[in-house]
């Protein structure tokens, strides 16, 4: 059961990040304007596209466990900052995707050792 929970949460999280990167690529001008409204510089758009795609690749491929764990940490910080930016910028419609992403990230991280051959030293051996 834990394997299914891991793969479903990880798959949906990956789709969320891939959809976000695709939106950033196809709607770059609008994303730059939206980020500007939240107080962020426009030059972050290509950086965010790159790290979103690399984060998904690191978690799904799991070529290196340390790199995968680093991707989880990066996604955690990204989602917390996104949630904070939307709430502080009074853009409450942008908050739910960040909350959903945080929940998916937590479930994926906590169940990864049940589904992967190479265990992460930071995830619990027996998830809740």
The reply to whether 53 falls in a domain is yes
The reply to whether 123 falls in a domain is no
d(CA 20, CA 8): 18
The reply to whether 124 falls in a domain is no
Provide the number of structural domains found in the chain. 1
Q: What confidence tier does 128 reach under pLDDT thresholds 50, 70, 90? A: low
The reply to whether 125 falls in a domain is no
The pLDDT of residue 7 is above 60: yes
Its pTM stands at 0.90
Burial of 110 (0-12, 13-18, 19+ CB in 10 A): middle
The reply to whether 23 falls in a domain is yes
Q: Which tens digit of pLDDT belongs to each residue from 50-93?
A: 999 999 999 999 999 999 999 999 999 999 999 998 898 887 88
Please measure the distance between the N-terminal and C-terminal CA atoms of the chain and give it in whole angstroms.
12
The reply to whether 126 falls in a domain is no
pLDDT, position 20: 94
Residues in the chain, overall count: 128
Which residues constitute the domain of residue 73?
Answer: 2-115
C-alpha distances (whole Å) from 86 to each of 20, 77, 92, 97 are 15, 14, 6, 10
The reply to whether 62 falls in a domain is yes
The reply to whether 26 falls in a domain is yes
């Amino acid at each position: 059961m834990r394997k299914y929970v891991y793969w479903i949460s990880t798959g949906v999280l990956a789709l969320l990040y891939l959809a976000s990167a695709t939106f950033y690529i196809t709607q770059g001008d609008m994303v730059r304007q939206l980020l500007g409204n939240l107080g962020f510089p426009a030059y972050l758009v290509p950086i965010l596209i790159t790290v979103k795609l690399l984060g998904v690749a690191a978690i799904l491929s799991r070529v290196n466990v340390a790199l995968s764990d680093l991707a989880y940490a990066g996604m955690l910080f990204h989602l917390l900052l996104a949630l904070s930016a939307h709430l502080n910028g009074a853009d409450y419609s942008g908050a739910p995707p960040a909350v959903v992403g945080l929940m998916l990230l937590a479930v994926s991280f906590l169940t990864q050792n049940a589904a992967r051959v190479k265990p992460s030293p930071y995830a619990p051996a027996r998830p809740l």
